[in-house]
Amino acid sequence: MRLNTIQLLTNSSYMMSIIFIPLLAESLGASYFEIGVISAIFGASSFVSSFIFGKVADIHRLRIVVMVGLTAGAITFFLQVFAYDPLSLAVTRGLAGFSVGMYPAALIAYVHYQKRSIGKFSSFGSLGWLAGYLIAGLIGNIQYLFVISSLFYCFALFSAFGLKDIEKPILNVSYFSVETFTRNIGIYLSLFIRHTGAVSVWTILPLYLTELGANTFWIGMIYAINPALQFLIMRRLEGLRNEKMVVWGYLLSALAFITYIFAPSFPYIIPGMLLVGSSWSFLYVGSTQMVVERNPDKATAAGLINSMIGAAGITGALLGGMLLQVYGFKATLLAGVVLSLLSFVIFRVLDYPIDEIHNFNKIY
């Protein structure tokens, strides 16, 4: 229960403060491209942190890694209150992003070594997203949300004090080795490319919803649909083949972003959110279970999943800001479609060989 509580609280904190960042940045005078840069800085710091602390968790005690990460989160999320222009917002978002990457790999390792379901554990992250979106939509004031998100990290840290150190293999892992990444290149690269497209969409989506007539309340409510469905789906994925889930994750992502392109007003975004919730449930759980089950350095492998998400936060945010600045909303949404389909192809070629498609019963 402590692990689930930490997962719920930290993901709630993460989402309640991220949803209105584009609107806050715009109010502080940032251009569309600068909005993308601010989001990219968050992704860059998360990428670096996830890479480093995944290896740290394999080498050192999991409990101390979790507690240090949660402490950093409580401090850095509160610092965002003091952002007063695009530059200060970028700096504080960078610090928050680094803290976000410090503890997730250690939590996944905890779950694996205790032989618990990664899908069910991940579902509490989605429940946290749901709570974060609902709180964001109801409160609306992002300064208050920064304070609440910091408090949630404090509550998570309090819960972490009750965690016990667990027995795990002693691994001789280099802090700078990329062997785990290259060994699973098909999984990581395809996830990175898909999520680049997704982040480009999420970077501009609050602005797109505003143009379609949504206010801050409806933005929060629409965003809440995605994690609500994830919570229901992730808890029911045991027994499904990981490769099958990943394939459907990419295909449903592309279909979701297509529906966004043709939405005439904000209620028509809802079907796409249902598809996104399904696609990410399959993709995240399937990819995470694949790398954890295949590799001896469990935390490093799981940490690289978060690193790919963080790296996509860089490229996707820059891509989304640039495309919106130059070509507009539709081009940005189309990029999400194209990159999701490209990820499907890369996963088939590099990790799930094309000759396996011939056995339809095996895959579908």
**Residue 43: closest CA among 51, 136, 278:** 51
Per-residue model confidence (pLDDT) at position 302: 80
- Cα(317)–Cα(198) distance, rounded to whole angstroms? 9
- Cα(196)–Cα(40) distance, rounded to whole angstroms? 11
Place of tokens 């891509």: 319
Q: Dihedrals φ, ψ of 214, to 5°?
A: -85, 145
The structure's pTM equals 0.78
Which has the higher per-residue pLDDT, 216 or 177?
216
- C-alpha separations of 125 from 55, 72, 115, 190, 344 in Å: 22, 19, 18, 22, 25
- Cα(231)–Cα(235) distance, rounded to whole angstroms? 7
The correct answer on CATH 3.30.479.30 for the domain covering 2-161+183-363 is no
Per-residue model confidence (pLDDT) at position 170: 64
Half-sphere exposure of 314 (CA within 13 A, CB side): 14
Q: What is the DSSP letter of 236?
A: T
**Most confident residue range from 42-56, 155-169, 216-230, 259-273:** 259-273
Q: What is the mean pLDDT of the chain?
A: 85
What percent of the chain has pLDDT above 70? 94
Per-residue model confidence (pLDDT) at position 356: 46
Per-residue model confidence (pLDDT) at position 352: 60
Per-residue model confidence (pLDDT) at position 173: 62
Per-residue model confidence (pLDDT) at position 38: 87
- Cα(92)–Cα(83) distance, rounded to whole angstroms? 7
- CA angle, 114 then 99 then 162, to 5°: 40
Per-residue model confidence (pLDDT) at position 175: 58
The tens digit of pLDDT for each residue in 288-344 reads 889 888 888 777 888 888 888 878 878 888 888 889 888 889 999 999 999 999 999
Confidence class for position 169, pLDDT limits 50, 70, 90: low
Place of tokens 């200060």: 88
**Most confident residue range from 9-18, 106-115, 259-268, 292-301:** 259-268
Question: What mean pLDDT comes out for the span 121-142?
Answer: 84
- What is the residue extent of each domain of the chain? 2-161+183-363
